[in-house]
A and B are shown apart, each in its own frame.
Chain A
Amino acid sequence: MAESAHQYFDDPAVARLMGMVVALAGEVFVLKAKNERLARALQRQNVLAADAIEDAGDDPELVRWMAAEKDEFAAALLRPLLDLDIAQKLRDEMLSRAPESRS
């Protein structure tokens, strides 16, 4: 999300945290919806026994999916932390306050 010039919280860290929380909640909701949809589809077709999911194991396709999905998920969750302008500003401030390196 583009960061607003308006500061909503006394502590700007809270805004970043809110960004993470909402992104995470969004992913969880999508996942819940998909899970529900899948369960209903399988139930309707009577193709899934109660223990079938546990028994499915990790087939190569699932492993490939997991590898790609974890990157997408992590990026969506942590993107709000990547406000490069502010990070750069803080870094510059820190460097300007750093003591001269000892000889």
Chain B
Amino acid sequence: MARNAIAVEKSGPRLPFEVHAYQSFVVGLKLFWTRSIYERVAREAKALDLDDPRAIEREMRKSVLYQYYGWLEHYLQQYKFLGRWGLMSVLERQDERLAAILDEYAREAPERLRLDPDLQLPKYYVQGDFHQMPGGIWSDACDAFAYELGSQTTTPTHAHDADLHTRYARYVKALCNPRRILDEGCGFGKTTLPLKKTFADAEVVGCDLSEPCLKLAHARAVEEKLPVDFVQCPVEKLDFADASFDAVTGTMLLHELPPAVVRESLREARRVLKPGGYYTQLDFYDPPGGAIGQFIYYGHSERNREPYMVPLCKLELVKELESAGFTDVRIEPFEETEGALANGRDLPRQWRFPWTVIVARAA
């Protein structure tokens, strides 16, 4: 069935027809870039026959095609949010109404939303424009809604990527059967709600730093009649008792954290897990395709303003997890959509994130 590039929930922003048309246009550009332009850039990079990603980058900067590739990768993300029909441009004008919607939901089942008005947001979180979203995702109601809508087109080849989060929830289900789950860096509940649907009998708690995102996650849970708790706290200082969870999960969290914070978060996850409990994160790690894969992915981190993507790839996660008190560490590629791993460890045929699942057990 034909549908707009972005789907709008019942309660949320009012998007005029022009925004839908414009977002479709941006997605169209992104798809052409993901397939055709990426494929040609990869071919040019292979022809260089170099085995150092920095040397490939230096040579490729002379390529006219690569210059356009880089520009488009950087600016197409901004075009989603900015410009006349960009999500932030449109949603900022609705901020008051959107804040009222979130407050209304916050009054429903208030015991399930625990915010910390005294929380000092860490510098690493507030200093940059998260995913090139101007002003980040932590100050206004419109930030949360723009983040929710914008995330639908981050990976346009598997649009409406709820499927990704459901697949991850199923992966966790194949791993263990927890009674209490903590979903770290839950944002607007993109993984937390599929986890609750997959583990209907479990108590599911989401934590995040962003007040508007937590309020939106709570609103979505109330709408779907899913009893989920949301708590505002950093992953490096979890506001939960020792040994109080059977599983700690997360998606796309670790690459947003500086290495020192990753280490603290691992120790905290170990603290709140019961012995034998599962720690599992879906993130980006170990890009396939050798030096060209690294050249493509490291370049993305620079162009999309993701300062901790490369440092995460360079962290020896097995050692880090073991020294934080974990055992049975397993790190393996994750198939985010059917057939995504068809090329194995070779360079993917179209641009994709190096989705990886990290699993360990509390010793």
Contact B84 A2 (CB under 8 A): no
- List the 10 shortest-distance A-B pairs measured between CB atoms, nearest first: A33-B21, A8-B71, A76-B84, A29-B25, A8-B70, A30-B21, A9-B67, A1-B78, A30-B18, A8-B67
Instruction: Decide yes or no whether A72 CB sits under 8 A from chain B.
Output: yes
Contact B21 A34 (CB under 8 A): yes
Give the Cβ gap from B305 to chain A, nearest Cβ, in Å. 9
CA distance A76 to B78 in the complex (A): 14
Among B22, B74, B129, the residue within 8 A (CB) of A8 is B74
Among A1, A8, A14, A18, the residue within 8 A (CB) of B83 is A1
The interface residues of chain A lying within 8 Å CB-to-CB of B71 are 8-9, 15, 18
Chain A residues proximal to chain B, CB less than 8 Å? 1-2, 4, 6, 8-10, 14-15, 18-19, 22-23, 25-27, 29-30, 33-34, 37, 72, 75-76, 79
Contact B134 A6 (CB under 8 A): no
Listed residue (A2, A4, A8, A29) with the most chain B CB atoms within 10 angstroms of its CB: A8
Query: Nearest B residue to A79 by beta-carbon distance?
Result: B83
The interface residues of chain A lying within 8 Å CB-to-CB of B29 are 22
Interface range, B side: 20 to 34
With A1-B79, A6-B74, A8-B74 already in contact, the answer to whether A34 and B134 are too (CB < 8 A) is no
The interface residues of chain B lying within 8 Å CB-to-CB of A1 are 75, 78-79, 82-83
CB proximity to A under 8 Å, residues B12-36: 17-18, 21-22, 24-26, 28-29
CA distance A76 to B26 in the complex (A): 15
Give the Cβ gap from A68 to chain B, nearest Cβ, in Å. 13
Among B70, B79, B84, the residue within 8 A (CB) of A6 is B70
Among A6, A75, A79, the residue within 8 A (CB) of B302 is A6
Query: Nearest B residue to A1 by beta-carbon distance?
Result: B78
Sample 20 A-B pairs with CB under 8 A, ordered by A number. A1-B79, A4-B303, A8-B70, A9-B67, A10-B67, A22-B79, A23-B84, A25-B25, A26-B25, A26-B79, A26-B83, A26-B84, A29-B21, A29-B25, A30-B25, A30-B85, A33-B21, A34-B21, A37-B17, A76-B84
